[in-house]
Structure 1
Amino acid sequence: MELMTTKKHAALNILIGLTVVLFFAACAGKTHETDSGADSTISVKTETVTTTPITNEITLSGNIEGTTTVKLGFMVPGKINLISSKVGEFVSKGQLIASLEATNYALNKQLADVQMNEVKDEYNRLKLLHGRGSLSESDFSKMNASLQKAQVQQKLEMKNLNDTRLYTPISGVLLSKQAEAGEIIGAGTQLFVVSDIRKVTVLAFVPEGELGGLHIGQEASISITALGKTFAGKITEVGAVADAASRAFTVKIGVDNVGLHIRPGMIAEARISASGQKEGILLSAESIINDSGNQSYVYVTDKAGRKAFKRKVSLGKMSANKIEILSGLSIGESVVVSGQSKLSDGSSITIMK
């Protein structure tokens, strides 16, 4: 009987012990779940959406051109015997750039001179006869016409001889050379390009919707990536007729090229501050995320600041190192500006102060 009582007490003690173990295990599980829940909360920084004055700035991309650019070639055919300048060198107005072998043209000029002298001597002899009445008016008129032809031929051969020497009509930089000494070229072939780049022009196109904010004399900031520099410029021309295909207008901006470092063909970005300002929403670029479909979105917090939700937004222009938000946000909402890369739609958050 005592043995049975002892066994009952032992079984009861084991049961009590198991109950206690299970109780503490359950408590530990709850604690672990609580800790896991705390660990899933993501710390972020937020910013309240407000309006900011935005300067109405127009940004245009364009190409650099010389103020005046000329394409040069010989008026007569021949063999090039001299090219005096190299590409990239500065040439002055009236400077010799190239010349042709002139022997044939010089001989033609001498022949024209001889013919002119012969005709002139004959003219003078017949003029005396005409004055004495020994020569008819008709014969003297024919002689006079022959003299005029000889004079014209002499001038033509002189011009051809002079055209074997090519001079630049402007001061500038030799941009292009399409021939070498020894080559035989035809009349009118374009061989050289000279451009006056002491002042250059940025040629850009502006949409018709932004044309109203531009006028001649307006200042512009010109950035040239190839040089890593920014230059001051002014609008010199605003197109009056739109391009039929793009519906854009041409705009020309003059820039002083001190040191001749800016060269035609370079790409330039022009920033022009149009008149007036507007109010808009600006966010730092880091707070905006683009998905695989190139859709832009931000994370907006709920009123309690405990969760973050994705919100699609439409972007405008860059302004003061921030991006303009055209639609998707309202004034007073709270947007995540730091830590958003770890978030997903509906994530639990903790807002850092």
Structure 2
Amino acid sequence: MRHKFTNLTRKNMLLAGGVCVLLLVAAFYFYMGTGKEAGPRVRRDVPEVKVQEVVRQDMQRHIVLSGQTVADASINLAPKYGGRITAVYAELGDRVEEGQVLMVQDLGDLDISIAQNSAAAGAAWADAREASAAYNANIISKKNAYELAKAKYERQKYLFSIGAISQDTLDSVEQEFSASRAAYEVLANQVADGGAAAVQSKELTAQKQEHATEALKKQREDMILRAPRSGVIAYRSAEVGAIAAAGTKVFTLVDNSHINIDCSIAENDAAILQTGMPVNVTIDALGRDFAGKVIFVSPAMEDGAKSYQVRISLEDADDSVKAGLFAHTAVDILQRPQTIFVPKEAVVTRNGAQYVFVLVEEDKVEMRPVKIGLLNDESEEIIEGLNEGEKVILSNQDKLQNGMKVKVTEA
């Protein structure tokens, strides 16, 4: 019985060992079979690329302009001087004309001051006339006395020369002559620029009073707030009886008679965009297009924004176009006629140099250095290194090396 159990155990062990050997053989065969099939497939795997044929044509730059509509003018109006408001002549939304009175402040005190200064100026001019008359009479008197004393002195000199009078008599006459001459010269030397100093002083005082009166009249005029141009009242905070503070906004005047669009562009676009270019502007809120023209391109970059300001004038805007609406347009500008350029994705940079991969045979590429010229959003001009009719690679350049074979999937 024990001998039968031992034989049975050995048979089972041999059977198990055979099964293990078969499994190992099958695994080895499967491994070796799949390895042989995968080897040729990996060696046959080549990069798939897209290509494009190079043709000589006009290179253009597509510039998109977007911004907001702005009124020809939006002016905040504020009184120059503080004062109580006595009248308001404009309501919110009113259309006003240039020079129209919008608001009046209390003018009573100014009117009194103007009257006082006008009277003072009149009195000063009267003093000037009185001084002028007195001076003219005085100088005539002094001149006559001087001339008489001079003549008398000349006669006494002659009499002295012939011994008719003494030296004391001549000296006395000479003193009289000297005093008359000094009195006349004091008045005569006051004259400058055609008038005597005493008279000019009175006249300048009168002019000062007149200027003070004019200043008060100007202040009075400034306290009557007028529209600086035609437009619509878009803001109002003025009420009769309220105190208007100097420099505080009481009205906003908007002139929508002409509409512009302000946009910002990058430096590459600003370098080629020119004033006078016609554009077709779309205003989305109105669902309409309007003819426009570029009227301004900023000559300098805006600080902080790092962009350039562009203004477009709408040529045929109507009352439906209001300030603050979003608008956009685009222009195509010729950069270079009949030149060679490729899509940006065709150019690769390695070690600081630019290259393109060129399809030189049906399935072989060549890595070729190129020199770049003009750029736009989509293309780069090739100045050297590429000829018309050649085909450049547009995809999978990171997997390519010079002389590698490729599979062209799309042209």
Percent identity, aligned pairs only?
20
Is residue 302 of structure 2 the alignment partner of residue 243 of structure 1? yes
For residues 270-298 of structure 1, what are the alpha-carbon distances to aligned partners after superposition, in whole Å with 9 as ceiling and x for unaligned? 33333379998xxxxxxxxxxxxxxxxxx
Find the aligned partners of 1:233 and 1:65 in 2 and give their Cα distance: 14
2:318 is the alignment partner of 1:259:
yes
What is the one-letter code of the residue matched to 2:247?
G
Q: Which residue type is aligned with residue 153 of structure 1?
A: A
Measure the CA separation in 2 of the matches of 1:140 and 1:150: 16
C-alpha separation in 1, matches of 2:255 and 2:86: 26
Q: 2:77 aligns with which of 72, 89, 109?
A: 72
- String of CA shifts for 1:45-104, please: whole Å, max 9, x gaps: xxxx999x9985422221222224433322222122233223333322222222212112
User: Kindly tell me: are residues 118 and 181 of structure 1, through their superposed partners in 2, closer, same or farther at Cα, counting changes over 3 Å?
Assistant: same
The answer to whether the aligner puts 1:97 opposite 2:102 as a matched pair is yes
Superposed, 1:1-353 pairs within 5 Å as 56-133=61-138, 137-256=196-315, 258-275=317-334, 333=410
Secondary structure of 2:318's counterpart equals helix
TM-score by length of 2: 0.51
**Structure 2 CA distance for partners of 1:328 and 1:261, relative to 1, 3 Å:** farther
Query: What's the TM-score once normalised by structure 1's chain length?
Result: 0.58
Seen in structure 2, the aligned counterparts of structure 1 residues 89 and 80 have a Cα distance that, compared at 3 Å, is same
Q: Is the 8 A contact 2:290 2:317 kept in 1?
A: no
Distance 1:191 1:198 in 2: 22
Q: Is the 8 A contact 1:112 1:153 kept in 2?
A: yes
> Please, what is the CA RMSD of the aligned residues?
3.6
Amino acid at match of 1:173: V
Contact 1:198–1:256, Cα closer than 8 Å, also in 2: no
Larger Rg: 2
Secondary structure of 2:120's counterpart equals: helix
Count of residues in correspondence between the two structures: 243
**Code of the aligned partner of 1:110:** A
Secondary structure at the counterpart of residue 261 of structure 1: coil
Is contact 1:62-1:270 (8 Å) kept? no
Structure 1 residue 151, shift from structure 2 partner: 0.9
Q: CA deviation at 1:110?
A: 1.5
SS of 1:170's equivalent?
Answer: coil
Q: Which moved more, 1:172-181 or 1:198-207?
A: 172-181
Deviating more after overlay: 229-238 vs 261-270: 261-270
How far apart, CA to CA, are the structure 2 residues paired with 1:88 and 1:332?
A: 66
For 1:331 and 1:248, how far apart are their aligned partners in 2?
42
Cα pair 1:199 1:257 within 8 Å, conserved: no
Structure 2 distance, partners of 1:266, 1:333, is 44
Amino acid at match of 1:84: Y
Tell me what 1:41 maps to. none
Q: Is the 8 A contact 2:259 2:317 kept in 1?
A: no
Distance 1:328 1:149 in 2: 86
SS in 2 for 1:215: coil
Describe the SS at the equivalent of 1:260: coil
Cα pair distance change 1:225/1:167, threshold 3 Å: same
Offset of 1:233 from its aligned partner? 0.9
Contact 1:78 1:186 in 2 (8 A): yes
Give the 3-state SS of the residue equivalent to 1:74 in structure 2. Answer: coil
Q: Which secondary structure state, in structure 1, belongs to the residue aligned with residue 129 of structure 2? A: helix
What secondary structure does 1:62 align onto?
strand
Helix, strand or coil at the partner of 2:117:
helix
How far apart in 2 are the matches of 1:150 and 1:105? Answer: 15
Where in structure 1 do 4 or more consecutive aligned residues deviate above 4 Å? 53-56, 134-138, 276-280, 327-334
Distance in 1 between the 2:316 and 2:236 partners? 23
Q: Pick which of 271-280 and 148-157 moved more.
A: 271-280
Q: What amino acid is aligned across from residue 197 of structure 1 in structure 2?
A: N
- Tell me the amino acid that sits aligned with residue 270 of structure 1: T
Task: Give 2:250's aligned amino acid.
Answer: L
**Counterparts of 1:109 and 1:264 in 2: how far apart (Å)?**
44
